[in-house]
Chain A
């Protein structure tokens, strides 16, 4: 089993739709969680951190369920510019330093 698992997609959704991605992780000692966005042939860029209480940034909502070991990302009112690959990233922080594991990413294509 992979340490971080994501549905690779692609998710093809029309503009204005709401789309949700899930990510599961295997190591219960994982401490921090992030969603990164990666555009084609570009580097990953932080979209948002994920907290136990859930957090929202505009049209984006991220949630963490530690008991079930999964993280979700909800995108409301999808825009064409949201088309990208969304990477789930889990940080285990053993010994106080970061040990980051990436999921394979979920590809989103927003269609006009």
Chain B
């Protein structure tokens, strides 16, 4: 069974540019989560989709971040315009059902904003 995949694996952009990250969850997983880890800090929750609906987006840092999950399959996370402090590793995770299901993580996208 294929795991969670993320694209790109790395992205280097200049401040002010736009970047779009993609996550493909494990097939059949309704729950999709985005997390971010900035240098030296803990992994922090950004938002949670149940199918195509945003269940919780309380972790989104500001309105420069937009997440979508049209059709309830893959998800995109767009940062526009990117700032230096957006640099970090963006992880996506998916789980089969709500509650206490194990979340499976993708390999992450390493974003560097110069």
List the interface of chain A (C-beta within 8 A of B).
2, 4, 31-32, 34, 42-46, 49, 87, 91, 93, 96-105
Contact = CB atoms under 8 A, between A and B. Distances in A.
Given A98-B99, A103-B42, 19 more contacts: A42-B107, A43-B91, A44-B43, A46-B102, A46-B103, A46-B104, A87-B43, A93-B100, A96-B98, A97-B48, A97-B50, A98-B31, A98-B103, A99-B45, A99-B56, A101-B45, A102-B35, A102-B42, A102-B43
A24 to B, nearest CB: 14
> Which of B42, B45, B50, B91 has the most chain A CB atoms inside 10 A of its CB?
B42
B38 to A, nearest CB: 12
A35 B35 CA distance: 17
Interface string B60-78: 0000000000000000000
A104 B42 contact: yes
A91 B100 contact: yes
A70 to B, nearest CB: 17
B101 to A, nearest CB: 7
A42 B14 CA distance: 25
A93 B41 contact: no
A30 B56 CA distance: 17
B56 A43 contact: no
A43 B108 contact: yes
A44 B91 contact: yes
A91 B45 CA distance: 11
A11 to B, nearest CB: 18
Contacts of A31: 100
Nearest to A36: B105
Contact of B98 (A34, A98, A104): A98
Contacts of A98: 31, 33, 48, 95, 98-101, 103
A4 B35 CA distance: 16
A102 B103 CA distance: 13
